[in-house]
Chain A
Amino acid sequence: EVQLQQSGAELVKPGASVKLSCKTSGYTFSNYYMSWLKQMPGQNIEWIGNIYGGNGGTGYNQKFKGKATLTVDKSSSTAYMDLSSLTSEDSAVYFCARVYYDGTYYYGVMDAWGQGASVTVSS
């Protein structure tokens, strides 16, 4: 069974950074891309970027360049997202989600999601 287990809720102060993790199991981590997404109440989901588990190659939404940094640890099949210089606008639920791969093609859709990690930025 494919599982993506995210780290827990975070309460952080403005200006600080936070590192979220997404530990995977049930599939070959290095064969898949992992996307990260932001969901705020009442707002559209935003795609932050993705990272390839095989070599750590990344692609970012221009809006999140400088805000988010994606990395992977292949040895533990875990993806990470660093969020820096946090403000109240970064308070949201963040999801990691595996990009669908049928063995031939990578589709730009997400077929397995973590449970989400709430980040609250408050002094």
Chain B
Amino acid sequence: DIQMTQSPASLSASLGETVTIECRASEDIYNGLAWYQQKPGKSPQLLIYNANSLHTGVPSRFSGSGSGTQYSLKINSLQSEDVASYFCQQYYDYPDTFGAGTKLELK
């Protein structure tokens, strides 16, 4: 199985700040990478797919980039409603595998 290593595990940032979360795959996943947001007690919500495609309805302050084995999620101008956990998913190869998640808090 492809291993997804996500960093950092936790992150504290101020309102208006830009934050970046990264995922590294154990092999090339050819942009088969998605990002999700999960708030406590809630279901995950799709943010980004195909490494850099913004899902319908997702605010444009979220963006994804990367290629090969290295991918990142950037949140511009952090808002209070962005406090959540974020995790990546590779779907290039079966079985789909997920990163361990990044917990984003307000400083």
A116 to B96, Cβ gap below 8 A? no
User: Hey, which chain B residues are within 8 Å of A45, CB to CB?
Assistant: 44, 87, 89, 98
A44 to B97, Cβ gap below 8 A? yes
Question: Provided the pairs A95-B43, A100-B46, A111-B55 are in contact, do residues A63 and B96 lie with their beta carbons within 8 angstroms?
Answer: no
> Taking beta carbons and an 8 Å cutoff, which residues of B are in contact with A?
4, 32, 34, 36, 43-46, 49-50, 55, 87, 89, 91-92, 94-101
User: Hey, which chain A residues are within 8 Å of B96, CB to CB?
Assistant: 35, 47, 61, 108
Residue in contact with A109 in the complex, picked from B4, B43, B49, B87, CB distance below 8 Å: B49
A47 to B49, Cβ gap below 8 A? no
29 A-B residue pairings within 8 Å (CB atoms): A35-B96, A44-B98, A44-B99, A44-B100, A45-B87, A45-B98, A46-B98, A47-B95, A47-B96, A61-B96, A63-B95, A95-B43, A95-B44, A97-B43, A100-B46, A100-B55, A107-B49, A107-B91, A108-B32, A108-B91, A108-B96, A109-B49, A109-B91, A110-B36, A110-B44, A110-B46, A111-B46, A111-B55, A113-B43
Whether a CB of chain B sits under 8 angstroms from the CB of A77 is no
B44 to A113, Cβ gap below 8 A? yes
User: Hey, which chain A residues are within 8 Å of B95, CB to CB?
Assistant: 47, 61-63
User: Hey, which chain A residues are within 8 Å of B46, CB to CB?
Assistant: 100, 109-111
Whether a CB of chain B sits under 8 angstroms from the CB of A15 is no
Beta-carbon nearest neighbor of B53 in chain A:
A107
User: Hey, which chain A residues are within 8 Å of B32, CB to CB?
Assistant: 108
Binary per-residue interface labels of chain A (36-60) against chain B in the complex, 1 for a CB within 8 Å, 0 otherwise: 0000000111110000000000010
**In the assembly, what is the distance between CA of A61 and CA of B94, in Å?**
7
Beta-carbon nearest neighbor of B100 in chain A:
A44
User: Hey, which chain B residues are within 8 Å of A43, CB to CB?
Assistant: 100
**How distant is A68 from chain B, measured CB to nearest CB, in Å?**
12
A47 to B97, Cβ gap below 8 A? yes
**In the assembly, what is the distance between CA of A47 and CA of B88, in Å?**
13
A47 to B98, Cβ gap below 8 A? yes
Whether a CB of chain B sits under 8 angstroms from the CB of A14 is no
